[in-house]
Structure 1
């Protein structure tokens, strides 16, 4: 029986996650993993660890032959990419939590893994405590994965929960999230959906073998959601969540987006409140599985780093099965979405772009409609993000070409056009 290897760790970053990992490793001696050096940017800060552990010189970690694992939990994507690249080339395994870095450099990182044959693991980069990457990678075969939808950003989910349950408006809820440390002082990355789309980029790779730069994916955040939208959701017995979704269509291609969505109360995702994350995976024969857990924070994120570290004792690597061992799926823009749109003035809404409109209402503060749009319209134009327009997907948003004709006929009948 082979004994698993002793891991000697060089750690980059000693913020919330880095310090969490340091504490957690002290409590898990059975792992056979120890931190030899910690590289930090600002040497003046008081830290809860022996001074001898710290350095500001990255080469002290990257060129130390006794260090066989680099754990990288820093904020700057460019620096993180440089660290990961050098470490892999120097024959070290890398564990990373930098979603932006992975999303923006996925093709290079895939090539590096093939070239160096080193492990590059990043469970901590998506959904913290939920083992979503490993499950997509190991458990769901390509042909069986029908769809996945997820709440993958804790800050926005916290804000929406407060808007919904405590009737706060967006600004009040954001302020509270900042006070509690769930949102950064500059909340743009979370609030406008950038953090979620970065995570979604590589989740799509593990789910479907799709490699796409985040700039080419369809997304927005919750920045335009209005108190009235929350009121309309409540009237319909629904909630609003920022949902990442991918679904295999009948032609085998994949529809994917990260957009606000109305979620019925009996949906698994309705249960995911505050800073929690949730993932619903729908597969061929197993129906739906629901993963739920803390999506951020010191120990939840450190626990994911820890699970990657423990996997390295057995030289675990991602095989990217959907990419290398199957025909990878392709994204498509060839489908329709049922959307709710609220706005201040009709003139901002291109009514002619809708296949049909199912309802429209004028309230004192805003107007809104529910209708069906070709998804290509959202890719090509930005009217749905501008002039304080708010677009939210209906509960079962995706409509395929094949069903659109039937539905169109029905909606015309409803409109009384056909006798």
Structure 2
């Protein structure tokens, strides 16, 4: 494939699809053009000529003149059909559908191997941040110790608005939806599921671990309590939704998505609004920080454009770390995390689930909390985690091996109560 023969079959002409059309118009050097667009809504008014559009997916899949399929729809099941059929027919694919990828990554990797046809998905990870290709290429021989970051722009916008404008979660969510940073059904974002899907991709390219989303604990921001927000303000900490994967001393990896309290000097404390930020920690290059827009039409379309350009010089993911990774596994049972848990009179966490409880606070007017150390697997399995009025927020310490719990006890010992009655 050369720069003069990219002819795109585009599925979806929503926010990102229209953004792609815009950036292609502004990038004449790529000499790529959209040949046909598959859409679902027959009543929607569109800005391009009607003959470009079709409601028949096979009109794109069967068209031999289209050599690249770009999939930008929100239906993960339909996206899986489109992507797999395109690969089987020898059409290169670029997709931004992180839910579809996370749920079917093993099959998609195998299908690429069988067909020799590339599937690229930079836009599925962190929108404008060039994360996947950096993990795949720049860190291909460097032993990564951790990746952690804010990888969902919608929730970061909501948390920024709540703190900056002193508004409620519901008000901040409404603002995010009005600006196009959150969907009308925001569950995937606010429940932490979108960040979990992206973390599945990061685990594959950072550590060579191919896993399913269900194996990773995800706690969203939809259950944040006023008491947790008060705790953060009193301690001078920022509240962010952070995805982290960290290599443990035994070579295995722990991973989770959790609302997290971040110290003001931390890089992620300064990531605001719809921006994403990702930190890599490695043996050779130490600590590096990526920052960029994590939501919006043009930022996401720019990542799609980068993948289209990469196709012109024959690029594909080699998944080298999967073959290099013969020993490590995802092992939440070997990891611990320090958390703040706020609760009400009606429901409370089971203190026996904790390795150690560091601090407790009870108030008839504000509610109650405890801080403690708990196993990552124990937290994921705790029945009280989903009870009404329970809010879990990670304290500003990284995921770590259970053997290091005593160190955290020392660091947290003597913590003062945040509120006085």
TM-score past 0.5 threshold: yes
Q: Structure 1: which 5+ runs fail to align?
A: 415-419
Runs of 4+ in 1 over 4 A off after TM superposition: 2-5, 405-414
Deviations 1:383-419 (A, max 9, x none): 12322111111111424233235666898999xxxxx
Between the aligned partners of 1:349 and 1:137, the Cα distance in structure 2 is 41
Which residue does 2:318 correspond to in 1?
Answer: 319
For structure 1, which segment, 399-408 or 262-271, has the greater mean C-alpha deviation from structure 2 after superposition? 399-408
Deviations 1:148-200 (A, max 9, x none): 10111111111111222222122222222222222222111111111111111
Alignment CA distance shift 1:306-1:408 (3 Å)? closer
Q: Is 2:142–2:284's contact at 8 Å kept on the other side of the alignment?
A: no
1:376 is paired with a residue whose SS is helix
For residue 3 of structure 1, report the CA deviation from its aligned partner. Answer: 5.6
Aligned-residue Cα RMSD (Å) equals 2.0
Which residue does 1:112 correspond to in 2?
Answer: 111
Deviations 1:351-408 (A, max 9, x none): 1121212112223221111111122211222312322111111111424233235666
Q: Is 1:170–1:226's contact at 8 Å kept on the other side of the alignment?
A: no
2:218 is paired with a residue whose SS is coil
Alignment CA distance shift 1:3-1:77 (3 Å)? closer
2:217 pairs with 1:245:
no
1:357 is paired with a residue whose SS is strand
Q: Is 2:354–2:372's contact at 8 Å kept on the other side of the alignment?
A: yes
Q: Is 1:20–1:298's contact at 8 Å kept on the other side of the alignment?
A: yes
Between the aligned partners of 1:402 and 1:5, the Cα distance in structure 2 is 57
Q: TM-score, structure 2 length as denominator?
A: 0.93
Between the aligned partners of 1:282 and 1:407, the Cα distance in structure 2 is 20
1:388 is paired with a residue whose SS is coil
For residue 309 of structure 1, report the CA deviation from its aligned partner. Answer: 0.1
For structure 1, which segment, 287-296 or 177-186, has the greater mean C-alpha deviation from structure 2 after superposition? 177-186
Between the aligned partners of 2:323 and 2:399, the Cα distance in structure 1 is 28
Which residue does 2:360 correspond to in 1?
Answer: 360
For structure 1, which segment, 51-60 or 131-140, has the greater mean C-alpha deviation from structure 2 after superposition? 51-60
Q: Is 1:339–1:397's contact at 8 Å kept on the other side of the alignment?
A: no
Between the aligned partners of 1:5 and 1:202, the Cα distance in structure 2 is 31
Alignment CA distance shift 1:159-1:53 (3 Å)? same
What does 1:12-411 align with in structure 2 at a 5 Å threshold? Answer: 12-141=11-140, 144-327=143-326, 329-333=328-332, 334-345=334-345, 348-363=348-363, 364-405=365-406
Give aligned pairs, total.
Answer: 413
Q: Structure 2: which 5+ runs fail to align?
A: 416-421
Between the aligned partners of 2:193 and 2:349, the Cα distance in structure 1 is 25
Q: Is 2:3–2:30's contact at 8 Å kept on the other side of the alignment?
A: no
2:370 is paired with a residue whose SS is strand
Q: Is 1:169–1:227's contact at 8 Å kept on the other side of the alignment?
A: no
Q: Is 2:208–2:324's contact at 8 Å kept on the other side of the alignment?
A: no
For residue 60 of structure 1, report the CA deviation from its aligned partner. Answer: 1.5
For structure 1, which segment, 238-247 or 167-176, has the greater mean C-alpha deviation from structure 2 after superposition? 167-176
1:107 is paired with a residue whose SS is helix
Q: Is 2:340–2:370's contact at 8 Å kept on the other side of the alignment?
A: yes
Which residue does 1:417 correspond to in 2?
Answer: none
Between the aligned partners of 1:408 and 1:128, the Cα distance in structure 2 is 38
1:311 is paired with a residue whose SS is helix
Between the aligned partners of 1:361 and 1:399, the Cα distance in structure 2 is 26
For residue 141 of structure 1, report the CA deviation from its aligned partner. Answer: 3.4
